[in-house]
């Protein structure tokens, strides 16, 4: 009998941590809330357990889903370890902190800092969109700065979406799901990932698609749009056949509520052709910062200074 991806049971003790509960399931991982037995700290543990390639055996180990997937599973596991080590070196106030990596059950476990707050995707869904310009900038400027760091290290996130953003006190954002990150040097290619419909660009769906920083930019643009109108955008493969996404600048309800530069940024990032988007997160961030700077002071009065911005542009 195959046990598929049954999560570790609450109370399981593994490498100094005790599993409290399962709090998430991704295409490549299971996510747990756990307690460090030595310090008592709450942590988040991500277990590499890809649903297409592997399953959990009766002894709790990761094994191939079937024999023909053995090589693919081994290759994915090697990449997971390589990428996890690279991610552990990332230090940014808006990227979830990786505390460590350990091996057990023939798979790998990422241990990350746990911080209380709420999920942006759930927050947007409960509000039906309509987040204010103030709040959107407070969330997305730091997130883009975090993505710019990832891109500068020749890495890609490849699963940016509201559901992968955690809001701490004061709506301070934290980029989650670093287990999806891929090294560009590892030959990241479209079709190699489990994509999130509505946020993944066209190139991420095809084995020959050339993914890059511009792919994360598309996902940022789609996330921006969702925060404004409360809807997941049309999946990009459908857009290639018949594009039903009306540009944000042409939607009267959005134009009445948001400054033109924010609508234009979302539209620019969501262009179907990669070469027509910002080249990376840094380019989109620079445009947003510049356009924010030239807004009238009255439109900025409620915007809190983001910790990543240069001092010259902070409000006093």
pLDDT in tens, 227-243: 999 999 999 999 999 99
pLDDT in tens, 246-297: 999 999 999 999 999 999 999 999 999 999 999 999 999 999 998 887 665 4
Model confidence at 162, in pLDDT bands (50, 70, 90)? very high
229 closest CA partner among 120, 128, 126, 122: 128
Per DSSP, 249 falls in state G
Domain ranges of the chain: 13-113, 118-305
Query: What is the Rg, in whole angstroms, of the alpha carbon atoms belonging to the chain?
Result: 20
pLDDT in tens, 173-184: 999 876 566 777
Q: Residue 294 has what pLDDT?
A: 67
pLDDT in tens, 58-79: 999 999 999 999 999 998 888 8
3-class SS string, 143-211: HHHHHHHHHHCCEECCCCCHHHEEECHHHCEEECCHHHCEEHHHCCCCCCCCCCCCCCCHHHCCCCCCC
316 closest CA partner among 308, 137, 303, 84: 303
Q: For residues 221 and 215, give the distance between their C-alpha atoms in angstroms, rounded to a whole number.
A: 10
Superfamily (CATH H level) for 13-113: Phosphorylase Kinase; domain 1 (3.30.200.20)
The CATH architecture that domain 118-305 belongs to is: Orthogonal Bundle (1.10)
Model confidence at 11, in pLDDT bands (50, 70, 90)? very high
222 closest CA partner among 112, 124, 300, 312: 124
- 48, with CB counted inside 10 A (0-12, 13-18, 19+), is buried
266 closest CA partner among 253, 250, 290: 250
Find all residues with CB under 8 Å of 234, minimum gap 6, and list them: 198, 243, 244, 245
Q: Which tokens belong to 15?
A: 């490498």
């Amino acid at each position: 009998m195959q046990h598929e991806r049954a999560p570790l049971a609450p109370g399981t003790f593994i490498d100094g941590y005790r599993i409290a509960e399962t709090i998430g399931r991704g295409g490549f991982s299971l996510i747990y809330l756990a307690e460090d037995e030595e310090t008592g700290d709450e942590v988040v543990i991500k277990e590499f357990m890809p649903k297409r390639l592997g399953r959990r055996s009766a002894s709790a180990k990761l094994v191939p889903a079937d024999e023909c997937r053995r090589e693919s599973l081994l290759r994915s596991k090697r990449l997971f370890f390589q990428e996890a080590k690279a991610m552990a070196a990332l230090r940014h106030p808006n990227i979830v902190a990786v505390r460590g990596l350990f091996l057990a059950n023939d798979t790998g476990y990422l241990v990350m800092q746990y911080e209380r707050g709420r999920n942006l995707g759930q927050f947007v869904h409960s509000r039906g969109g309509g987040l204010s310009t103030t709040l959107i900038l407070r969330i997305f400027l730091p997130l883009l700065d975090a993505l710019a760091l990832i891109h500068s290290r020749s890495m890609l996130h490849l699963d940016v979406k509201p559901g992968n953003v955690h809001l701490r006190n004061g709506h301070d954002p934290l980029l989650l799901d670093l287990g999806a990150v891929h090294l560009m040097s590892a030959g990241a290619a479209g079709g190699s990932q489990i994509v999130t419909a509505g946020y993944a660009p066209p190139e991420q769906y095809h084995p020959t698609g050339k993914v890059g920083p511009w792919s994360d930019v598309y996902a940022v643009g789609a996330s921006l749009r969702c925060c404004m109108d409360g809807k997941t955008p049309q999946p990009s493969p459908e857009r290639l056949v018949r594009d039903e996404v009306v540009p944000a600048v042409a939607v009267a309800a959005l134009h009445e509520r948001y400054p033109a530069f924010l609508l234009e940024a979302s539209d620019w990032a969501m262009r179907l052709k990669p070469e027509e988007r910002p080249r990376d997160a840094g380019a989109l961030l620079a445009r947003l910062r510049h356009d924010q700077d030239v807004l009238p002071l009255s439109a900025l009065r409620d915007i809190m200074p983001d910790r990543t911005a240069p001092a010259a542009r902070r409000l006093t």
